[in-house]
Structure 1
Amino acid sequence: MITTPLTAAFLQGAAEVETTARGLRPHRLPAWVRTQFPDPQLLMTQGQPAGVRLTMSTAARTIHLVAHPSRVAYRGVDRPRGSIDLVADGDVVASDLLDGGDVVEVDLQTGVPDFRAGPAHTAVFSGLPAGDKLIEIWLPHNESLELIELRTDEPVRPVDPTRPVWVNHGSSISHGSNASTPTQIWPAVAARLGGVELRNLGFGGSALVDPFLARVIRDAPADLISVKLGINVVNLDSMRLRSFVPAVHGFLDTIRDGHPTAPLVLISPIFCGIHEDTPGPGAFDPDSLGTGQVRFIATGRSEDQQQGRLTLRVIREALASLVDRRADDPNLHYLDGTTLYGVGDTAEHPLSDALHPDTATHRLIGERFAAYAFAQAGPFGDSLRLAG
Structure 2
Amino acid sequence: MTTKQNFTDKTSNDSKEIGFHYQYYYFIYRLLNLKSGQSVGLEVKDDVHTDLDNDTQLLFQLKHTVKKNTAGNTIALTELDDDLWKTLHNWAKIISDAIAKRQRKPEQIKFIQRSEFHLITNKTESSKNKFLKTLDEFKNSTKSFYELREHIESIGTKTKNEEIQKYINTVLRLDNEVLSLFLGKVHLQLALEDLHALIKQSIKEKMVPHTSVDIVFERLDSNIRTDNYINIKHGEKIVLSFDSFYNRYRSIFSSSREPLQLNKPFVPAYPEDVFAQTFVKQLVAINAVKLEDLERAFELTTQRLKIARFLEDWHQSGELVADEIEAFHKDAKGKWRNSFEHWCEDCLDHETVAKAKSLLHELRRIEFSIGTSTLNTELSNGELYHLSDENLIGWHRDWKIL
- TM-score by length of structure 2 reads 0.22
Structure with higher strand content: 1
Higher relative contact order (CA 8 A, sep 6+): 1
Higher percent of residues as helix: 2
**If you compute each CA radius of gyration, which structure gives the higher value, 1 or 2?**
2
TM-score normalised by L of structure 1 = 0.23
